[in-house]
Amino acid sequence: MSYKIVDYSKEYESIMQFGKNKNVYIHRWYPFVEGYSKEFILKIIDEYKKTYKCESIVCLEPFAGSGTTPLELQNMGHLCYSFEVSPFMYDLARCKMETSYTMKSFDKYVAQLEDYFFNPESYSEEKIQTKFKTLVEHEGIDKWLLDREVRLGILDILEGIKKFYSKKYQRLFKVALASILLDVSNVYRNGKCVSYKKNWKTDVNYSRKDVHNIYLKRIDNIFRADLLQMQKIKNKGKLFSNGIYCYCGDCRKLIFEKIPDKSVDLVITSPPYLNSRDYTDTYMVELKTLGYMEDLCEIKGLREKTLRSHVQVKWGELETLKIDELQQAIASIEKFKEKFWNPELLDMIRGYFLDINTLFKGLSKKMSLNGMVFINIANSAYYNVEIKVDEIVCKIAENNGFNIVEIREARRVRTSSQQKGISEGLRESVIVIKNNNIEN
């Protein structure tokens, strides 16, 4: 190993989580547990500027999520390309990067909604129900995510938004609705998917009007307050936006299509971890309720476009990258084949690193000489066999012509039920990589 693994817990431990963004201007529009904080971005930019003494930096975030990276970079005036495969996450990231909102239009649309809530249309049963059987309460099922009254309140908001003339405000008001969705539903997010709230049948009982009021309150307290602040900042000068550089789709393809060769100086990113969690499942309520996904076929289509970090798709027989650490881990896990909780497990692991390899192929084409990559990743374990994801990613980067500066251990993460047995927890790290690839 030509690089060191260094303890960075003092510097990174408290800023690797989204929690710090909870009360921060715009970042707070939607809580995204899988994200990191804006301080993480600030720290990296500070370090990069000290090293390279440059004022303008072209950046890339292949896995935008809630948009923390491109948003914070635009606040500092840096251009950042970004990609996000989930249409919901894309809307979230995109609306946070918009800087052309005006208070006049915002207030006009709020008034338009209030008007509509006063006398909403009555919806057909076909509209109230969806193709997803357990989304809305109806006869013949004993569990549902949304009570009928709640669904009506949500439909009023969605129909009201549909009447807006401007797409940009439609997106903003839809994200505001997403931010109250779990509060008014019967479920909470449990990390992997959703679970029913305690006593949800008896205790959680919102009326259609309650839903309108909770929504309008959120709009006023959070969104209006932040747009007022944006207006004040704009009064001092024009605001830059990374919105037009944000694309909805699969970064494994888009990286080759949307970015000029040798143009990227800095990549800051956090891909999905190799923990068999599927973001399509975790954000299912938003995808299904807000009209992003109409049926199971569309859900399958989205899953197929995501990084292969989960077992929800049959990935088929895949090759294993020729990296010793990976081949050994796969051979050790294969010994437990009889006990596998899902037959796709090994192909998920193979596919994950094939995807990371594709990403680095793209990066080697698109990054400038001496460009830097900061990639936040966590190790993984199945059947007590640890997969040193960070070290394997380092090998992949090296094979694509990059130099590893160091692996920075940010913290130890708890192991999930499928990963029991790794008592000290799994390393979550930030890999620092440099592009020395003169031939790119």
Ligand X SMILES: C[S@@+](CC[C@H](N)C(=O)[O-])C[C@H]1O[C@@H](n2cnc3c(N)ncnc32)[C@H](O)[C@@H]1O
Interface ranges with ligand X (CB under 6 A): 32, 34-36, 63, 65-66, 68-69, 83-86, 89, 250-252, 270, 272, 279, 305-307
| Cα distances (Å, whole numbers) of residue 162 to 104, 177, 424 | 19, 13, 51
CB of 257 to ligand X, least distance (A): 13
Report the C-alpha dihedral over residues 129, 132, 136, 139, rounded to 10 degrees.
Answer: 80
CB of 90 to ligand X, least distance (A): 9
Residue of 261, 122, 110 lying closest to 176 (CA atoms): 110
Q: Which is nearer to ligand X, 289 or 306 (CB)?
A: 306
Q: Which is nearer to ligand X, 306 or 357 (CB)?
A: 306
Q: Are 276 and 311 in contact (CB under 8 A)?
A: yes
CB of 268 to ligand X, least distance (A): 8
Q: Using CA atoms, how far apart are residues 96 and 354, in angstroms rounded to an integer?
A: 32
Residue of 254, 348, 240 lying closest to 61 (CA atoms): 254
Q: Which is nearer to ligand X, 34 or 147 (CB)?
A: 34
CB of 272 to ligand X, least distance (A): 5
CB of 378 to ligand X, least distance (A): 10
Residue of 421, 394, 395, 425 lying closest to 410 (CA atoms): 425
**Phi, psi for residue 371 in degrees, rounded to 5:** -60, 150
Query: Which sign, positive or negative, has the C-alpha torsion 160, 165, 167, 171?
Result: negative
CB of 69 to ligand X, least distance (A): 6
CB of 83 to ligand X, least distance (A): 5
Helix 389-399 vs helix 324-334: crossing angle, to nearest 10: 140
Q: Are 37 and 17 in contact (CB under 8 A)?
A: yes
Q: Which is nearer to ligand X, 223 or 279 (CB)?
A: 279
Q: Using CA atoms, how far apart are residues 370 and 390, in angstroms rounded to an integer?
A: 21
CB of 307 to ligand X, least distance (A): 4
CB of 24 to ligand X, least distance (A): 12
Q: Which is nearer to ligand X, 89 or 385 (CB)?
A: 89
Q: Which is nearer to ligand X, 63 or 173 (CB)?
A: 63
| Cα distances (Å, whole numbers) of residue 49 to 42, 56, 57, 278, 432 | 11, 9, 9, 36, 15
Task: HSE, CB side, 13 Å, CA atoms: give it for residue 39.
Answer: 13
Instruction: Quickly count: other Cβ atoms within 10 Å of residue 114's Cβ.
Output: 12
Q: Are 90 and 246 in contact (CB under 8 A)?
A: yes
Q: Which is nearer to ligand X, 186 or 357 (CB)?
A: 357
Residue with tokens 């990227």: 264
Q: Which is nearer to ligand X, 82 or 170 (CB)?
A: 82
Q: Which is nearer to ligand X, 65 or 160 (CB)?
A: 65
Q: Are 197 and 186 in contact (CB under 8 A)?
A: yes
Q: Which is nearer to ligand X, 283 or 402 (CB)?
A: 283
CB of 180 to ligand X, least distance (A): 19
Q: Using CA atoms, how far apart are residues 396 and 390, in angstroms rounded to an integer?
A: 10
Q: Which is nearer to ligand X, 27 or 151 (CB)?
A: 27
Question: Which bin fits 421, alpha (ψ -120 to 50), beta or left (φ > 0)?
Answer: left
One-letter identity of residue 69: T
CB of 362 to ligand X, least distance (A): 11
